[in-house]
């Protein structure tokens, strides 16, 4: 394949004083002489030097921000600061038209635009430095996730997106139908006749692949699913998407401690991969983050820079704290005693809110924290009941600035305990016959967790609105593009 | 992490005569003495030797097909044929109950079951040799896809699953709604008021990420999407799924020839990766394939073994043939003249059917074939019009036994030609305003293609029904599990 600007800039010595061909988009054309050329392979632009006397006026006229060009030229050591090399143009070809007037109504106009405006033109924001960086980092993180699991002998399982199950109760579901909504068939009782729908039953978009991936785990040992999941919740916040990507590993023979070890190794691997492979993008995001902090009142500023924060997460062992200990810490905290929590902590059994999680991570421990052994009442039916009869082997990994980034548990592998719990928690055992089968034939202890990809990308990029870390966000009243 | 059976069998020398711990499922317990233990990490079982005099009768009684055990024992060189090592059990712990009576109503009963019956118990089929192999190969192929693109500087872009667009016309779409179907809101004209639905408009499940990924390509250069896509088509065949996974790369500055090169390199890389990394599973599938062939009348048998076929695909350069040449070959073929095609080839312009594709690949060229430059009328609106004004720069890669495995094209990057074509082909330009924007501001020549993951897995595993290469198939009247 041809040379990208990334290859050229990182390994230029062998082409110095040779002619090369580059293609890309003009980011700027200064003094009718210097083209800043970008091809998306890196955040860095290639400087192309144009001697205007050597080129046709018609060509020069069409070199403007956002236009695309093909350039043949000689690679030379750069005279100016800021780059090692530049290219002296010998041939210039305009590849694509640039509708300049229309361009100036878009975010491609060469001036600063707000994140809100960029979001309204999500189809064009890939062409900005910021979103180029964010989506290259997102891509690297996704690859690192696959690589981590592959290296640790996990198998990738695609769990279904369209599901007939409705039982897990992780959240509101979207309906999927092939009915003509103007003409929905009814049965003799006047009820909607889902037997006539495409799948012969009511179907929804999945909220989690966990129950399905557990069945694969019971044969293949170490598996993970990584795909889109959905929530039909009317949450218009900077933290919620109706469609987002989730990674869910599930491991046979793992207990809660193994599960915490896996989550910690996994997060450190993926963040380390980004630090190593996205240096230029992260440096750009680090500077942006620092500038954003300067705009804030001093008391609200982050205590660490972006890259510093990522490096610290990798260095330190995560703090592991039981729910019971956490409640004691919170109950006795100054914040609680002075009534500074919106939800005061009084008794064991309280569900922890974001303010409590952030207190533990950012104030008390100043470290990522893994909370474990939660009261059974506030956690899902499939989590393993501990010997105390009061808690389940659940775990949440809490990160600074983000709160919960991973939630998981050892699963209840005992058929009788599981069915008893389903009864108490009103989960339909009939619908989940296949899930229960996994506990009947050689059931094994096992554990797993879920990570929302976008939360991790938020953490690594320092972005603050989840709509800015997925290419085309789906949110209430918004499915544009 | 602890040792898997795969690690143990492939690197046993360092643990010879040492005690190890293994956990897994009993595949068979012969003569009250030999456990064939499998943990999913490999198709190969570990032989565990049990001296029945040393163990409690209650334990021995519970060792049966499908039960799960934890074993501590010494690794020794094997006395018997078929394995290098075995483990002499010192401690045996039964991990999970085995409901033997119920088991014998399932596919876990130790006897042969048809693929149809296995499909009805998709949640348990991961525990068979066949489906263990198929899904390990599927996982390896998925990883190889990510690795190929990562090594070639592509960025992974998640295109949206829920889409407001309806324009591409690649197939029937499923509706996504949050309406209570018993109570759909209407506007003043009595029409369904989609403004009140979750996204404020009518939404569907995506049939392709291409148009979205093209917008990312226009900033990032080389991108690919890899995710689930959907077709609400009532096709009850061995080749169709309502939900399947598709890979779609898109590359700036590529023309049709670059695109064909990319597709060929890509397929060879992925198949080569499977050959190298799935040896044991492919050997099993190769034997199975050979046995299946024996059941067939001689004239219907495959001319190559499974592994042989894969190795040949990697060795040979794919045959590249224009549509026009292909029509000549087909028109003049004995088959056509003798009236053996269901759809006789008479004139240039005919759409090729599966029988024609298979004739070219399996009879005429005996090689994978890339057809290119199709009549514009039979291809999609976004394909680049060639200079002849009659054909478009489309390409299909045809594989033996499968037919079309990849379809792609150079895209029409010229705004005026594209809009003209959309008009002719009745594609709604208003709805696709954002797609047209990519042709207004620095449009560039570009090309891409789509590969259905399941078709490739069929090809590599030698399976014949597409429902057997995805964990939980979704087809008409079927969304179980």
Whole-complex ipTM: 0.97
Structure tokens at A349: 């059994």
Residue B227: the pLDDT is 98
Average pLDDT (A421-432) is: 93
Whether B443 and A95 lie within 8 Å, measured CB to CB: yes
> Of B142, B192, B443, which is closest to A181 when you measure between CB atoms?
B192
> Of B200, B441, B445, which is closest to A98 when you measure between CB atoms?
B441
Instruction: Verify that B423 and B347 share a domain, yes or no.
Output: yes
Instruction: Verify that B293 and B407 share a domain, yes or no.
Output: yes
CA distance A222 to chain B (A): 8
User: Chain A neighbours among B 387-406 (CB < 8 Å)?
Assistant: none
Residue with tokens 């009140």: B196
- Cα(first)–Cα(last) distance of chain A, in Å? 31
For residues A52 and A42, the answer to whether their CB atoms sit within 8 Å is no
> Of B99, B138, B438, which is closest to A441 when you measure between CB atoms?
B99
Q: What are phi and psi of B53, to 5 degrees?
A: -70, -20
Of the residues A103, A122, A138, which one is the last residue of a structural domain? Answer: A103
Rg (CA), chain A: 27
Beta bridge mates, A20: A73
User: Chain A neighbours among B 28-47 (CB < 8 Å)?
Assistant: 39-41
Q: Give the DSSP letter of residue B363.
A: I
Instruction: Verify that A79 and A159 share a domain, yes or no.
Output: no
Angle of helix B210-220 relative to helix A129-151, nearest 10 degrees, comes to 110
Is there a domain that residue A442 lies in?
yes
Residue B411: the pLDDT is 98
Q: What is the pLDDT of residues B361-385, one digit of tens each?
A: 999 999 999 999 999 999 999 999 9
**Contact list, B472 vs chain A (CB under 8 Å):** 159-160, 212
Q: What are phi and psi of B243, to 5 degrees?
A: -135, 120
Q: How far apart are CA A403 and CA A261, in angstroms?
A: 19
- Cα(first)–Cα(last) distance of chain B, in Å? 31
Q: What is the pLDDT of residues B300-320, one digit of tens each?
A: 899 899 999 999 999 999 999
Residue A167: the pLDDT is 60
**Contact list, A152 vs chain B (CB under 8 Å):** 1
Read off the pLDDT band of A326 (50, 70, 90).
very high
Q: What are phi and psi of B392, to 5 degrees?
A: -120, 155
Is there a domain that residue A319 lies in?
yes
If one counts every other C-beta atom within 10 angstroms of the C-beta of residue A170, the result is: 14
DSSP 3-state of B287: helix
Q: What are phi and psi of B152, to 5 degrees?
A: -100, 20
Write out chain A in H/E/C secondary structure.
CCCCHHHHHHCCHHHCCCEEEEEEEEEEEECCCEEEEECCCCCCCEEEECCHHHCCHHHHHHCCCCCEEEEEEEEEECCCCCCCEEEEEEEEEEEECECHHHHCCCCCCCCCCCHHHHHHCCCCHHHCHHHHHHHHHHHHHHHHHHHHHHHCCCEECCCCCEECCCCCCCCCCCEEECCCCCCCCECCCCCECHHHCCCCCCEEECCCCHHHHHHHHHHHCEEEEEEEEECCCCCCCCCCCCEEEEEEEEEECCCHHHHHHHHHHHHHHHHHHHHHHCHHHHHHHHHHHHHHHHCCCHHHCCCCCHHHHHHHHHHCCCEEEEHHHHHHHHHCCHHHHCCCCCCCCCCCCCCCCHHHHHHHHHHHCCCCEEEEEEEHHHCCCCECECCCCCEEEEEEEEECCCEEEEEEEEECCCHHHHHHHHHHCCCCCCCCHHHHHCCCECCCCEEEEEEEHHHHHHHHHCCCCHHHCCCCCCECCECCC
Whether A99 and B203 lie within 8 Å, measured CB to CB: no
Write out A453-467 in H/E/C secondary structure.
HHHHHHHHHCCCCHH
Instruction: Verify that B146 and B35 share a domain, yes or no.
Output: no
Write out B220-234 in H/E/C secondary structure.
HCEEEEEEEEECCCC
Q: What are phi and psi of B110, to 5 degrees?
A: -75, 75
Residue B27 at interface with chain A, using a CB cutoff of 8 Å: no
> Of A124, A176, A212, which is closest to B472 when you measure between CB atoms?
A212
Is there a domain that residue B418 lies in?
yes
Q: Is the pLDDT of residue A457 over 60?
A: yes
Residue B349 at interface with chain A, using a CB cutoff of 8 Å: no
Q: What is the pLDDT of residues B98-119, one digit of tens each?
A: 899 999 999 999 899 999 999 9
Structure tokens at A276: 């190593």
**Contact list, B40 vs chain A (CB under 8 Å):** 155, 219-222, 252
Output the average pLDDT for chain A.
Answer: 95
**Run of H or E including B155:** strand B155-156
**Run of H or E including B204:** strand B203-205
Of the residues B88, B103, B118, which one is the last residue of a structural domain? Answer: B103
Instruction: Verify that B236 and B306 share a domain, yes or no.
Output: yes
Q: Is the pLDDT of residue A170 over 80?
A: no
Is there a domain that residue A50 lies in?
yes
Q: Which residues of B384-417 are buried (b: 16+ CB within 10 A; e: fewer)?
A: bbbeeeebbbbbbbbbbebbbbbbbbbbbbbbee
Residue A313: the pLDDT is 96
Burial class (CB in 10 A: 0-12, 13-18, 19+), B56: exposed
Q: What is the CATH number of the domain that holds A64?
A: 2.40.50.140
Q: Give the DSSP letter of residue B299.
A: G
Read off the pLDDT band of A66 (50, 70, 90).
very high
% of chain B residues with pLDDT over 70: 99
Q: Is the pLDDT of residue B1 over 90?
A: no
Q: Which of A369, A340, A366, A367 is nearest to A355 (CA)?
A: A340
Of the residues B66, B86, B103, which one is the last residue of a structural domain? Answer: B103
Q: What is the pLDDT of residues B15-60, one digit of tens each?
A: 999 999 999 999 999 999 999 999 999 999 999 999 999 999 999 9
Instruction: Verify that B70 and B145 share a domain, yes or no.
Output: no
Instruction: Verify that A166 and A315 share a domain, yes or no.
Output: yes
Residue B107 at interface with chain A, using a CB cutoff of 8 Å: no
Residue A2: the pLDDT is 72
Is there a domain that residue B332 lies in?
yes
Q: Which of A21, A25, A36 is nearest to A78 (CA)?
A: A36
Instruction: Verify that A328 and A459 share a domain, yes or no.
Output: yes
User: Chain B neighbours among A 412-451 (CB < 8 Å)?
Assistant: 413, 415, 434-435, 437-445
Domains identified in chain A, total number: 2
CA distance B24 to chain A (A): 8
Whether A160 and B243 lie within 8 Å, measured CB to CB: yes
Residue B13 is part of which domain span? 5-103
Q: Is the pLDDT of residue A283 over 90?
A: yes
CA distance A456 to chain B (A): 15
**Run of H or E including B211:** helix B210-220
Q: Which of A331, A324, A321, A407 is nearest to A371 (CA)?
A: A321
Instruction: Verify that B65 and B138 share a domain, yes or no.
Output: no
Structure tokens at B118: 């296995």
Residue B297: the pLDDT is 96
Mutate to test the interface with B, among A7, A96, A266 (most CBs of B within 10 A): A96
Task: Report which of residues A3 and A284 the model is more confident about.
Answer: A284
Residue A112: the pLDDT is 92
Residue B169: the pLDDT is 64
| C-alpha angle A123-A466-A312 in degrees, rounded to nearest 5 | 120
Instruction: Verify that A91 and A164 share a domain, yes or no.
Output: no
- Pick the residue from chain A with its C-alpha nearest to B259: A1
Average pLDDT (B285-307) is: 95
Q: What is the pLDDT of residues A291-314, one digit of tens each?
A: 999 999 998 899 899 999 999 999
Residue A21: the pLDDT is 96
**Contact list, A177 vs chain B (CB under 8 Å):** 174-175, 177, 181
User: Chain A neighbours among B 49-68 (CB < 8 Å)?
Assistant: 66-68
Is there a domain that residue B435 lies in?
yes
The A203-205 sheet, strands edge to edge = A162-163, A203-205, A175-177, B175-177, B203-205, B162-163
% of chain A residues with pLDDT over 90: 94
Instruction: Verify that A303 and A390 share a domain, yes or no.
Output: yes
Residue with tokens 């029945």: B52
For residues A379 and A256, the answer to whether their CB atoms sit within 8 Å is no
Q: Which of B465, B26, B6 is nearest to B239 (CA)?
A: B465
Residue B179 at interface with chain A, using a CB cutoff of 8 Å: yes
For residues A478 and B199, the answer to whether their CB atoms sit within 8 Å is yes
Q: How far apart are CA A363 and CA B462, in angstroms?
A: 58
Q: What is the CATH number of the domain that holds B385?
A: 3.30.930.10
DSSP 3-state of B85: strand
Average pLDDT (B401-411) is: 95
Residue A444: the pLDDT is 98
Residue B104 at interface with chain A, using a CB cutoff of 8 Å: no
Q: For the residues of B406-472, what is the DSSP string, one character each? A: EEEEEB---HHHHHHHHHHTT--TTTTHHHHHTTTBS---EEEEEEEHHHHHHHHHT---GGGSSSS
**HSE-up of B159 (CA within 13 Å, CB side)?**
31
Mutate to test the interface with A, among B219, B274, B418 (most CBs of A within 10 A): B219
DSSP 3-state of B240: coil
Task: Report which of residues B132 and A401 the model is more confident about.
Answer: B132
Q: Which of B285, B311, B286 is nearest to B136 (CA)?
A: B285
Instruction: Verify that A237 and A152 share a domain, yes or no.
Output: yes
If one counts every other C-beta atom within 10 angstroms of the C-beta of residue A372, the result is: 26
Average pLDDT (B232-253) is: 96
Whether A174 and B198 lie within 8 Å, measured CB to CB: yes
Output the average pLDDT for chain B.
Answer: 95
Residue B118 at interface with chain A, using a CB cutoff of 8 Å: no
Q: Is the pLDDT of residue B80 over 90?
A: no
Is there a domain that residue B93 lies in?
yes
Q: What is the pLDDT of residues A465-481, one digit of tens each?
A: 999 999 999 999 999 99
**Run of H or E including B271:** helix B256-277
Which whole-number Å values give the CA distances from A273 to A406, B150, B246, B400, in the listed order? 18, 13, 26, 40
CA distance A305 to chain B (A): 26
Mutate to test the interface with B, among A8, A40, A228 (most CBs of B within 10 A): A40
Q: What are phi and psi of B46, to 5 degrees?
A: -95, 130
**Contact list, B3 vs chain A (CB under 8 Å):** none
Residue A64: the pLDDT is 93
Residue B168: the pLDDT is 60
| C-alpha angle B153-B157-B160 in degrees, rounded to nearest 5 | 165
Residue A228: the pLDDT is 98
Is there a domain that residue A182 lies in?
no
Q: Is the pLDDT of residue A146 over 90?
A: yes
Structure tokens at A136: 């290259």
Residue A345: the pLDDT is 96
Q: How far apart are CA B286 and CA B362, in angstroms?
A: 20
Residue B2: the pLDDT is 72
For residues B395 and B263, the answer to whether their CB atoms sit within 8 Å is yes
For residues B257 and B249, the answer to whether their CB atoms sit within 8 Å is no
């Amino acid at each position: 394949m041809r040379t990208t600007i990334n290859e050229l800039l990182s390994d230029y010595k062998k082409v110095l004083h040779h002619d090369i061909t580059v293609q890309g988009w003009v980011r700027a054309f200064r003094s009718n002489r210097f083209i800043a050329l970008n091809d998306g392979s890196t955040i860095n632009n290639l400087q192309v030097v144009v001697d205007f006397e050597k080129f046709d006026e018609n060509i020069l006229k069409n070199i403007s921000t956002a236009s695309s060009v093909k350039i043949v030229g000689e690679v030379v050591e750069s005279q100016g600061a800021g780059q090692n090399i530049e290219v002296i143009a010998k041939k210039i070809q305009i590849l694509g038209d640039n509708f300049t007037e229309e361009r100036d109504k878009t975010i491609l106009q060469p001036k600063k635009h707000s994140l809100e405006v960029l979001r309204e033109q999500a189809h064009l924001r890939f062409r900005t430095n910021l979103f180029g960086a964010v989506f290259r980092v997102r891509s690297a993180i996704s690859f690192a996730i696959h690589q981590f699991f592959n290296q640790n002998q996990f198998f990738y399982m695609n769990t279904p997106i369209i599901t007939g199950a409705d039982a897990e109760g992780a959240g509101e579901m979207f309906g999927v139908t092939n009915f003509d909504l103007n003409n929905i068939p009814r049965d003799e009782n006047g009820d909607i006749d889902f037997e006539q729908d495409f799948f012969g039953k009511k179907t929804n978009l999945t909220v989690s692949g966990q129950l399905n991936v557990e069945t694969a785990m019971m044969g293949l040992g170490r598996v993970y699913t990584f795909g889109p999941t959905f929530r039909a919740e009317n949450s218009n916040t900077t933290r919620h998407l109706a469609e987002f990507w989730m990674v869910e590993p599930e491991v046979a023979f793992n207990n809660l401690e193994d599960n915490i070890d896996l989550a910690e190794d996994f997060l450190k691997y993926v963040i380390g991969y980004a630090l190593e492979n996205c240096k230029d993008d992260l440096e750009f995001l680090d500077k942006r983050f620092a500038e954003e902090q300067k705009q804030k009142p001093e008391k609200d500023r982050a205590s660490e820079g972006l890259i510093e924060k990522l490096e610290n997460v990798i260095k330190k062992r995560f703090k592991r704290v039981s729910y019971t200990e956490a409640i004691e810490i919170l109950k006795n905290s100054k914040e609680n005693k002075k009534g500074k929590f919106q939800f005061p902590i009084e008794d064991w059994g309280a569900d922890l809110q974001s303010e409590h999680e952030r207190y533990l991570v950012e104030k008390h421990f100043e470290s990522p924290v893994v909370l474990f052994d939660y009261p059974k009442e506030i956690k899902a039916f499939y989590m393993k009941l501990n010997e105390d009869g009061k808690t389940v082997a659940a775990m949440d990994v809490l990160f600074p600035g983000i709160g919960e980034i991973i939630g998981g548990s050892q699963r209840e592998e005992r058929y009788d305990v599981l069915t008893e719990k389903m009864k108490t928690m009103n989960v339909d055992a009939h619908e989940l016959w296949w899930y229960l089968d996994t506990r009947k034939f050689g059931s094994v202890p096992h554990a797993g967790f879920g990570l929302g990809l976008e939360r991790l990308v938020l953490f690594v990029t320092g972005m603050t609105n989840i709509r800015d870390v997925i290419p085309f966000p789906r949110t209430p009243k918004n499915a544009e593009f």
